[in-house]
Amino acid sequence: MLNITLPDGSQRQLPDGATGYDVAASISEGLARNALAVTVNGDVRDLHRPLPDNATVSILTWNDTAGKSTYWHSSAHLMAEALEALYPGVKLAIGPAIENGFYYDVDLGEGRSISSEDFPEIEKKMLELAKHKSRYERKDVSKADAIAYFTEKQDPYKLELIDGLEDGQITFYTQGDFTDLCRGPHIPDTGTIKAAKLMNVAGAYWRGDEKNKQLTRLYGITFPKAKDLAEYLERLEEAKRRDHRKLGKELKLFAFSEKVGAGLPLWLPKGTALRERLEQFLRKAQVKAGYQPVVTPHIGSKELYVTSGHYEKYGADSFQPIKTPNPGEEFFLKPMNCPHHCEIYKTEPRSYRDLPVRYAEFGTVYRYEQSGELHGLTRVRGFTQDDAHIFCRPDQVKEEFKKVIDLVLYVFKNLGFEDYTAQISLRDPENKTKYIGSDENWALAESAIQEAAAEKGLPTVTEYGEAAFYGPKLDFMVRDALGRRWQLGTIQVDYNLPERFDLEYVAPDNTKQRPVMLHRAPFGSLERFVAVLIEHCAGNFPLWLTPEQFIVLPISDKYIDYANEVKAQLEQRDLRGTVDARDERIGRKIRDAEMAKLPYLLVVGEKEAQDKIISVRKHGEGDLGSMPLDAFVKSVQSQIVEAY
């Protein structure tokens, strides 16, 4: 008999050779029907593999992340089977599950390609094959046999993968006529795959190395119910509606011009209003937090970047130098603000008593991003960082980190970002030599970050080997409408620049010591932040931030004077908005204002002009009835205060 522990701690006894399926069946018939896989002591396994004794087993269904991912991995095999049927001779590379669905990298061979027009045929074939309810059969294979199989099949990619595997650890999975090298696990059979959709085709390098051959990557997604697919597609549509590139154009926030140059955004008046309000918001918070604003030029001499090391590392791949009438004199557009701030630090001798020194600047920087990398406002070639550099003693790092975390969270809270992740990036413990700075300082900084995050109760994930060569960091990531993760806020420790710029302070014992430098940017950059903010709130910005809080809509041109009076009075009370004085009917004006996502529409006609009141309509909510101006102002102001 086997002793099995369930996740709730309860125990069950099953006969020897029992499988995850048997466990599910012993719980309920429905669970057995919906089970896709199991976890055995935390590892995901096939549902029909015999269980070991004394294992903790939990049943995975479509509702578990690991269940979904197994399902999609199996779906990748199904797609591969369909591709082999439709494109004989196709070579398969790798086909994992991803966050939403799966992909398979394939080599179609010379002269063949797949486009989105071919998707329906592949989807049809997948569903046709799925109907066979083929079991995913697992088989242990010796390395020699595995090599023989894929040599016969002439698949160089699988052979290369096998080359890296240990004999005795190699398994094949077969469903129907399709056999793949695979560690598994898989769902029991193809019968649960009821809806399949190919999403996208793209190029991808074999093993992610751009020196290698480029393969065709087919992205797909499958579902156990057709309805789930429909809902998923609807969500994607919603994401497209929120896309900051679309809304940025529609709401007249920013634009690009081919003539100005790729990746160089033009901020339109409304976008500028939004951006400047964000700047003001942070400026205020930073003054309170002890930062001193500074301003530095947009260019710096070559020597500055030779000192910082950026010239050597990035000079050739970046914007090229600006020449002057003096032969040999060269300036660079600044790719970051740190070197300038280091020079500010150096303008006077520093005592340990002066530290920390915090210099903040909304610094516009220019980086020549690869052309294929440019993306709306999230990845551009000219952008403004809400940058600051903190110069402090090693023993102050933790305290400073905590203060910056507070600032970042303050920003996120006021803008309604709740779904963020915080990532601590540390050294690769296997390879400490590629990092600059002493072991001791690194250890100090790394534990300072971890402790600061823990003391602030910040949920974090820790990634080893993700630190910059010059120091560990803490990044805040927020998702965009399509679920892509973007780094916004960042806090980084830097041991490199203080060294290169020979920064010093005088310690209590009158010795010269090296300060630690922290880079930090709660927004990351205003461009990226605004992009993510647009998608986050679907263009319905918080009231305190939105470029126009109200629009006055006169019923006819007889009431334009009163409308202007309303506007003037509201402006005196620090609200901002406009009057729609067009010769249009009220229905049209309301429609246009709703489409422009203006928060408050103030309708004024005969009644309102006579009684000196306004009719208030709130975006997305409808008519709130009429009220005196004072009542409206009070209600709006209370909402703005609440937001802070």
Residues annotated catalytic, as ranges: 338, 367, 385, 387, 389, 473, 519
Q: Does 468 bind RNA (CB under 7 A)?
A: yes
Cβ proximity to RNA, 170 vs 221, nearer residue: 221
One of 237, 312, 317, 329 touching RNA (CB under 7 A): 317
CA–CA separation, 348 and 150 (whole Å): 69
Q: Does 431 bind RNA (CB under 7 A)?
A: no
Q: Does 527 bind RNA (CB under 7 A)?
A: no
Per-residue 3-state assignment (H helix, E strand, C coil) for 456-508: CCCCEEEEECCCECCECEEEEEEECCCCCEEEEEEEEEECHHHHHCCCCEECC
255-294: which residues touch RNA (CB under 7 A)? Answer: 256, 258, 261-263
Mark residues 472-501: x for contact with RNA by CB under 7 A, - for none. ----------x-x-----------------
Cβ proximity to RNA, 42 vs 620, nearer residue: 620
How far apart are CB 76 and RNA at their closest, in Å? Answer: 15
Choose the binding region for RNA from 75-83, 202-210, 275-283, 437-445 (rule: CB under 7 A): 202-210
Q: Does 450 bind RNA (CB under 7 A)?
A: no
Q: Does 373 bind RNA (CB under 7 A)?
A: yes
Choose the binding region for RNA from 275-283, 373-381, 389-397, 420-428 (rule: CB under 7 A): 373-381
CA–CA separation, 429 and 211 (whole Å): 28
How far apart are CB 595 and RNA at their closest, in Å? Answer: 5
Mark residues 337-356: x for contact with RNA by CB under 7 A, - for none. -x------------------
How far apart are CB 611 and RNA at their closest, in Å? Answer: 10
Q: Does 612 bind RNA (CB under 7 A)?
A: no
Per-residue 3-state assignment (H helix, E strand, C coil) for 365-408: EECCCCHHHCECCCECCEEEEEEEEEEECHHHHHHHHHHHHHHH
One of 368, 423, 565, 576 touching RNA (CB under 7 A): 368
The set of residues, in sequence order, having a beta carbon less than 8 Å from that of 324 and lying 6+ positions away, is: 330, 331
Count Cβ atoms below 10 Å from residue 592 Cβ, excluding itself: 16
Q: Does 410 bind RNA (CB under 7 A)?
A: no
Q: Does 249 bind RNA (CB under 7 A)?
A: yes
578-607: which residues touch RNA (CB under 7 A)? Answer: 582-588, 590-591, 594-595, 601, 603-607
Cβ proximity to RNA, 140 vs 606, nearer residue: 606
The set of residues, in sequence order, having a beta carbon less than 8 Å from that of 494 and lying 6+ positions away, is: 338, 468, 470, 471, 516, 517, 518, 519
Choose the binding region for RNA from 51-59, 141-149, 361-369, 561-569 (rule: CB under 7 A): 361-369
H or E stretch at 22: helix 20-27
**DSSP reduced 3-state for 13:** strand
Q: Residue 593: left (phi > 0), alpha (psi -120 to 50), or beta? A: alpha
Choose the binding region for RNA from 69-77, 223-231, 274-282, 617-625 (rule: CB under 7 A): 617-625
Distance spanning both ends of the chain, measured CA to CA: 62
Two tokens, residue 378: 């999230």
Please answer whether residues 423 and 461 qualify as being in contact, where contact means their C-beta atoms are separated by less than 8 angstroms: yes
* Edge-to-edge strand list for the sheet holding 43-46: 11-14, 2-5, 55-60, 37-40, 43-46
